[in-house]
Amino acid sequence: MISGFSLTIYMGPVALLLVVMTVQIKCFQEIITIGYRVYRSYELPWFRTLSWYFLICVNYFFYGETVADYFGALVQREEPLQFLARYHRFISFALYLAGFCMFVLSLVKKHYRLQFYMFAWTHVTLLIVVTQSHLVIQNLFEGMIWFIVPISIVICNDIMAYLFGFFFGRTPLIKLSPKKTWEGFIGGFFSTVVFGFILAYLLSQIQYFVCPVGFNSETNGFTIECEPSDIFVMHEYTLPAVLQKTLRWKTVNLYPFQIHSIFLSSFGSLIGPFGGFFASGFKRAFKIKDFANTIPGHGGIMDRFDCQYLMATFTHVYIASFIRGPNPSKVLQQLLMLQPEQQLGIFHTLHSHLRETNILPPAADQAE
């Protein structure tokens, strides 16, 4: 499994996008199938078709947003894509509205309540699976390190919590998962923080992992080249007085991302498991052992990714709150989509502002 994951990373962003989409579709199928079995809804008219139709609509919306956001140069060059990008949200809404109307027209008097149960089931599944899968992709485009580290943290915590619980576990942690213990929970936390710290150090040195994923309009392919941002450049930090006396070091050299990894690891080991507890409660509520039997002896795909989705959401929020700043390339992409007279107006406004703030060199001012 580790070798397969490594190979996928080596193959680049396209392979990872395909893996994320495959996992998303399989997780959706597993949860929807449980709904069909629990509510015995196989005979509902059009409902299986509508469930997959809504999945397609939501994916069209999210992937369209991604294309417009990250591949502005490609959109600007292709006229059909310009039309689709400009009216993307209207088209997405129209597609969803068509499905909504199909659902209303499919209502059958003796199955009203059951049909609305399944309508709600489908939409909650879309919220849990598709929305959070989209966040995984957003994290990937910020740099592969934001994709690899969170996933690895959850895997590490799962393994180490099991090992500590197996060898030292005595105290039950939560009734939803009787095999979980406090010893495994605490041991998994400290092990995961150390693991995340070391992994962050190793990956921060490699440009392939730290650069945002971009699109090169000349080669029509993804590019992973950049000047590493400040959080991936080694800094010298002064240690607190207490640690200076203990370690006999006054300073330490770290990548800022290593400090961020502590927060990611803390969430992945302290809050991330609650995604698994939620899944356990869900399965107990419907009296099933696993979401599916896709992986012999390990259940379904959703059983393996119940914590990953919660971790992906936290990572996305963390990036948006503490990491991401103004992105000049995205601003430029939006400017290129404006009309020539609008671009010229922005140019004159920016020129005046730079001149007033003495940022524009005098030579450039005279040439103007």
Q: What's the predicted TM-score (pTM) here? A: 0.86
Q: Answer yes or no: are the C-beta atoms of 194 and 130 closer than 8 Å.
A: no
Helical segments of the chain, H only: 2-11, 13-38, 47-70, 72-77, 79-86, 88-105, 112-125, 132-141, 145-168, 182-203, 207-210, 241-247, 256-270, 273-285, 301-318, 328-336, 340-356, 362-367
| H or E stretch at 177 | strand 177-181
Q: Residue ranges per domain, the chain?
A: 1-44+108-325, 328-357
- Whole-number CA gyration radius for the chain: 25
For residues 89, 95, 100, 105, the Cα torsion angle rounded to the nearest 10 degrees is: 150
Q: Answer yes or no: are the C-beta atoms of 148 and 9 closer than 8 Å.
A: yes
Q: What is the pLDDT along the chain (368 residues), one digit of tens a residue?
A: 677 778 888 888 888 989 999 999 999 999 998 888 776 655 677 888 899 999 999 999 998 888 777 776 667 777 787 888 889 999 999 999 999 999 999 888 888 888 898 899 999 999 989 998 999 999 998 999 999 999 999 999 999 999 999 999 999 998 888 889 999 999 999 999 999 999 999 999 999 999 988 777 666 677 788 888 899 999 999 988 888 888 888 899 999 999 999 999 999 999 999 999 999 899 888 888 889 888 877 788 898 888 998 999 999 999 999 988 666 666 776 777 678 888 899 988 988 888 888 888 765 445 44
